[in-house]
A and B are shown apart, each in its own frame.
Chain A
Amino acid sequence: MKEDSRNGGFVDRSLIGILAFLKNSLFAEEHALKHGFIQSLDPRIKTLTFILFIVVILLAKTIPLVLSLYLLCLLLACISKVNLGFFLKRTWIFIPLFSLFIALPALFSNFTPGEELFSFKAAGLALVITRPGALTVLLFVLRVTAIVSFAVLLSITTRHCELLKVLRIFGIPQAFVMVLGVCYRYIYIFIGIIENTYLAIKSRVGTEIHYKSGQQIVGWNIAFLWVRSYRLNEDVYKAMLSRGYNGEPYVLDDFKVNSRDWLWLAFSGVIGICITCFFH
C-alpha cells in the first residue's frame, strides 16, 4: 500500500505475525509431544486435576496458598520438559498484566481504606496506597496468574484433539465438540489460503500500490474467502453424509487409565486438601 513504506512494513509484519502466532499457538504441538510427566498422564485425569487446582485457587483467600499452587504449577512445567522462559512469557503477557491494570485502583485508600503503606502526589492529588489495598491487588494478580498458568500448562502439554475428546467426557454435546474439531481443522487450511493469497498478491503487484487498490484487493479477497468457505462447508457435509453421518455423530473413546494416573489423581487430591487446610 502506498501510504508510506513504514506503514506497508507494519501491515506486512502484522499480517505475517498474526498468522504465525495463530499457527504456533493453535497448531504447534511441540510441548505436547515431549515425553514429560504431564504429557504421560491420561488427558481426562490431567484435566480433572487441573480443574481441581483451579477451583482451589479460585476459593483461596490467602496469598501463600495461591503462591504455593503457582509454584507447584511451575514445578510441573519443569518436570514436563517445558522451557520455563517460554512458559513465563506465555503466561505473564496479556492476561495477568491486564488484570493488574484492572486491579490498580484497589491499591488506593479511596477504594480500599486501611493502614497507610505509601503516599505520593500526582496531578495535585494526594494518593495513598494502603496495606489491605496492596494485598488485595497482589492476591488478585497472583490468582489470575496461577489460573492462567494451569490453563496454559494443560493446553500446551495436551494435544488439541485429546482436549476435544476430554470435552466429550465432561458432558459437552458430541455435535458441539465435533463442530469445534472441524473448525480447528479448517482454520489451518484457511490460514494457508490467506498466506498464499497474500504472497500471490505481493508477487504480482508488490507492496507499493495505491491504498484504494489495496482496499479493493483486500475486499475482494475477503469475499473470495467467504465463497470458498461456503463451498468447503457444502463439500465437507457431503463427505460426512457419504460416510453415513445422519446428524448424530458416534465416536470411539480410546483413553486408557493406568496406575500412574490414579496415583497422580490421589496425589493431587491430597495436595489440594493439605494446602487448603494448612493455609486456612
Chain B
Amino acid sequence: MHNLLFSLKNVWFSYLGKFPALAAVDIDINAGQKISIIGANGSGKSTLLHLLDGLIFADKGAASFCGRELNEKDFNDSEFSRNFRRKVGFVFQNPDVQLFCPTVKEDIIFGPLQLGFGKDETQKRLEKLIAILAIEGLLERSPNQLSIGEKRKVALASTLIIRPDILILDEPTAGLDPLTTRHIIDLLIDENISGKTIITSTHDLHIVEEISDVVYVFGRERRIVKFGSPDSILSDTALLSENNLVHIHSHRHKDKVHVHPHVRLEHHLQDGEPG
C-alpha cells in the first residue's frame, strides 16, 4: 500500500529480556488514519506506542516506518533520527515526564530548537500555538504550578509545535475533567481533518468512536485479540468484558432500575432517558 506508514509483523518485546510486554503483534497503519489501542492496564499499549516512536526496538519480528526498518542503528544516524522525530510526535502518558524544563515556554520550544527549526520559526510557531490552545498565561510558569489538565495541554503543545505528520498519544485524557477531555478530543479531530495520522491508546471507551477508524484491542496475554471498526469492537460486550474494559453498571432513573454494560452513552438513550 503506497500510504503505509507503520507496519509491524509478528513483533515481540520484553523488558530486560524476561518481562514480556508485547507478543506477536501485527499492525498496519496508513497515513491519515485514526487508530485507537485499547486494553486493560499492563496489556502492552504504552510499550507498543514507545516502539512506534522509536524509543524501544522489537526483540523479534519486523517493525518498519515508511518501508524502512526501525532499529537502534538507524536512530544513531542523526539525519534519519531528525527526520523521523520531525514526522512523529509523541505525547507521554505522564505529563510530568514530558515537561522537564524549568518553565512552560522552555518546554514547548524544546522540540523545535533541537530539531533545528531556528529561533524565528520556533517563535512564530509558539505564538500560533498559544493562540489555539489559549495557554499564554502559562508560559512563564513552572510546570510544578500547573493543574493536571494544564499539564496535559502543555505536553500536547510541546508535541504539536513540531507539527508532526503522525501524532501518538498515550492516554491523553486520563484524569481529566469532561470539559478538558472535550477540548483535547476536538483538537485531535481537527488535527486528523488537517491530514495528520492520530494513534491513541486509551481505556476511556467514551472517546473511542470519535478518535478511531480502526480499534485494536490488547488482551491479557499482551497480544492483539481483535481489531476492527469502532462499532464492531464497542458492540462486542463479551470481548470488552473479558478484557476488563467494561463493567456492568446498575443505576436508577426515577423509579426504574437500569442495568447495562458501561460502554457508551447511547445505552442511556435507548429508553429515551438522559444518562
The answer on A and B forming one complex is yes
Chain A interfacial positions (CB closer than 8 Å to B):
27, 159-161, 164, 181-182, 184-186, 188-189, 232, 235-236, 238-246, 249-252
Number of interface residues of B (CB under 8 A): 38
- Complex: A189 Cα to B101 Cα, angstroms: 13
SS of B interface (majority): helix
Interchain Cβ contacts under 8 Å between A and B, 13 examples: A182-B101, A185-B101, A185-B142, A232-B96, A238-B97, A239-B90, A239-B92, A239-B100, A242-B85, A243-B114, A244-B111, A246-B81, A250-B116
Q: Which residues of A contact B144 (CB under 8 A)?
A: 27, 185, 188-189
Contact yes or no, B114 A164, CB < 8 A: no
**Which of B29-37, B102-110, B127-135 is near enough to bind chain A?**
B102-110
- Complex: A3 Cα to B110 Cα, angstroms: 51
Contact yes or no, A242 B119, CB < 8 A: no
Q: Which of A182, A235, A239, A249 has the most CB of B within 10 A?
A: A239
Our pick among A189, A243, A244 for the contact of B96 (Cβ within 8 Å) is A189
Our pick among B86, B92, B111, B158 for the contact of A235 (Cβ within 8 Å) is B92
Q: Which residues of B contact A236 (CB under 8 A)?
A: 97, 100
A183 to chain B, nearest CB (A): 10
- Complex: A92 Cα to B101 Cα, angstroms: 33
Contact yes or no, B106 A244, CB < 8 A: no
Contact yes or no, A185 B143, CB < 8 A: yes
Interface residues of B in 78-130 (CB under 8 A from A): 78, 81-82, 85-86, 89-90, 92, 94, 96-103, 106, 109-111, 113-116, 119, 122-123
B101 nearest CB neighbor, chain A only: A181
Decide if B50 is an interface residue (CB 8 Å cutoff).
yes
Q: Which residues of B contact A181 (CB under 8 A)?
A: 100-102, 106
A238 to chain B, nearest CB (A): 5
Q: Which residues of B contact A185 (CB under 8 A)?
A: 99-102, 142-144
Q: Which residues of B contact A182 (CB under 8 A)?
A: 100-101
Chain B interfacial positions (CB closer than 8 Å to A):
50, 53, 55, 78, 81-82, 85-86, 89-90, 92, 94, 96-103, 106, 109-111, 113-116, 119, 122-123, 140, 142-144, 158-159, 162
Q: Which residues of B contact A186 (CB under 8 A)?
A: 100
Contact yes or no, B114 A249, CB < 8 A: yes
B99 to chain A, nearest CB (A): 8
Q: Known contacts A161-B103, A161-B106, A188-B144: does B114 contact A239 (CB below 8 Å)?
A: no
Q: Which residues of A contact B94 (CB under 8 A)?
A: 235
Contact yes or no, A160 B98, CB < 8 A: no
B231 to chain A, nearest CB (A): 33
Contact yes or no, B122 A252, CB < 8 A: yes
B108 to chain A, nearest CB (A): 10
Our pick among A160, A241, A250 for the contact of B113 (Cβ within 8 Å) is A250
Q: Which residues of A contact B53 (CB under 8 A)?
A: 242
A254 to chain B, nearest CB (A): 8
Q: Which residues of B contact A238 (CB under 8 A)?
A: 50, 55, 92, 97
Q: Known contacts A27-B142, A232-B97, A243-B158: does B102 contact A250 (CB below 8 Å)?
A: no
- Complex: A168 Cα to B109 Cα, angstroms: 17
Our pick among A160, A239, A251 for the contact of B97 (Cβ within 8 Å) is A239
Contact yes or no, A243 B55, CB < 8 A: no
B100 to chain A, nearest CB (A): 5
Q: Which residues of B contact A243 (CB under 8 A)?
A: 85, 110-111, 114-115, 158-159, 162
A38 to chain B, nearest CB (A): 18
Our pick among B98, B100, B102, B110 for the contact of A164 (Cβ within 8 Å) is B102
Contact yes or no, B101 A250, CB < 8 A: no
B267 to chain A, nearest CB (A): 37
B93 nearest CB neighbor, chain A only: A235
Our pick among A184, A232, A240, A246 for the contact of B102 (Cβ within 8 Å) is A184
6 residue pairs, one from A and one from B, having the closest CB atoms: A243-B111, A161-B102, A244-B114, A244-B115, A250-B113, A235-B97
B216 to chain A, nearest CB (A): 21
Q: Known contacts A185-B101, A246-B78: does B113 contact A252 (CB below 8 Å)?
A: yes
A242 nearest CB neighbor, chain B only: B90
B55 nearest CB neighbor, chain A only: A238
Q: Which residues of A contact B102 (CB under 8 A)?
A: 160-161, 164, 181, 184-185
B76 to chain A, nearest CB (A): 10
